[in-house]
């Protein structure tokens, strides 16, 4: 507002294997092909080819001649954008970047549900001051809740019912009431603590090809 202009979002990583940004015509991320090669790999281990489908971002650096990273697993999840942008730039597009794999809840049948989908902006959560999910096993989460003064057992029942719909029966939820939810060292509020073993994040049929180690 102060500068009277739009804010443009960018996507990249510290490993310098991917760089993408919005243009003046859309909010899709335009992938810079001269910076790195970007692939989206679905949960079936195959490249994502349809607009709107989600996959893990796999990248190959083109700007690091000393120590190039080839088919590097970023652990980021993104949505494939449409074929071309009206701005005229012939860059591959990402519709949006959903977040890190560690920011997803994993269901019993190994589906990944983002915290964005678990939207808490509903009257069901009016009596909840704070909440946090914790996952250690696939298909199971612990939900820590800081209650407001008007919280009752009816709120618990409504919350479990609402989450059951969002998780489509793929996650068993246990609620635990706590006095407060601590922030991270940087003072951030963490909605999900994902404590699944690293191996649980391997995509089927892609484990050897996309792993960040010699295969």
The domain spans of the chain are 10-101, 116-190
Is CATH 3.40.30.10 correct for 116-190?
Answer: no
Q: Nearest Cα to 20, choosing from 4, 6, 44, 36? A: 36
Tens-level pLDDT at each residue, the chain (215 residues): 788 889 999 999 999 999 999 999 999 999 999 999 999 998 888 999 999 998 999 999 999 989 989 999 998 999 999 888 999 999 999 999 988 877 889 899 888 888 877 766 678 889 999 999 999 999 999 999 999 999 999 999 999 999 999 898 899 999 999 999 998 888 888 889 988 875 555 554 444 444 454 33
Fold of the domain spanning 10-101: Luciferase; domain 3 (2.30.38)
- How far apart CA 179 and CA 91 sit, in angstroms, is 49
Structure tokens that stand for 97 in this block: 């970047």
> Three-class SS of residue 116?
coil
- Using a 10 angstrom Cβ sphere, with 0-12 exposed, 13-18 middle and 19 or more buried, the burial of residue 98 is buried
Its pTM stands at: 0.65
> Three-class SS of residue 100?
strand
């Amino acid at each position: 507002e102060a500068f009277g202009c739009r804010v443009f979002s960018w996507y990249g990583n510290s490993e310098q294997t991917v760089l993408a940004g919005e243009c003046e015509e859309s909010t899709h991320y335009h992938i810079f092909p001269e910076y790195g090669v970007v692939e989206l790999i679905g949960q079936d281990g195959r490249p994502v080819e349809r607009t709107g489908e989600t996959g893990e971002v796999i990248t190959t650096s083109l700007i690091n001649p000393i120590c190039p990273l080839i088919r590097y697993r970023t652990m980021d999840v993104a949505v494939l954008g449409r074929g071309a942008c009206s701005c005229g730039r012939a860059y591959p597009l990402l519709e949006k970047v959903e977040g890190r794999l560690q920011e997803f809840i994993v269901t019993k049948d190994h589906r990944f549900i983002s915290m964005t989908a678990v939207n808490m902006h509903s009257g069901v959560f009016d009596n909840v001051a704070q909440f946090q999910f914790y996952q250690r096993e696939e298909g199971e989460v612990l939900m820590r809740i800081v209650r407001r003064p008007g919280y009752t057992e009816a709120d618990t029942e409504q919350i479990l019912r609402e989450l059951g719909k969002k998780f489509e029966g793929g996650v068993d939820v246990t609620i635990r009431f706590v006095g407060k939810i601590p922030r991270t060292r940087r003072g951030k509020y963490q909605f999900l603590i994902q404590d699944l073993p690293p191996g649980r994040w391997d995509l089927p049929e892609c484990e050897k090809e996309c792993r960040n180690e010699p295969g």
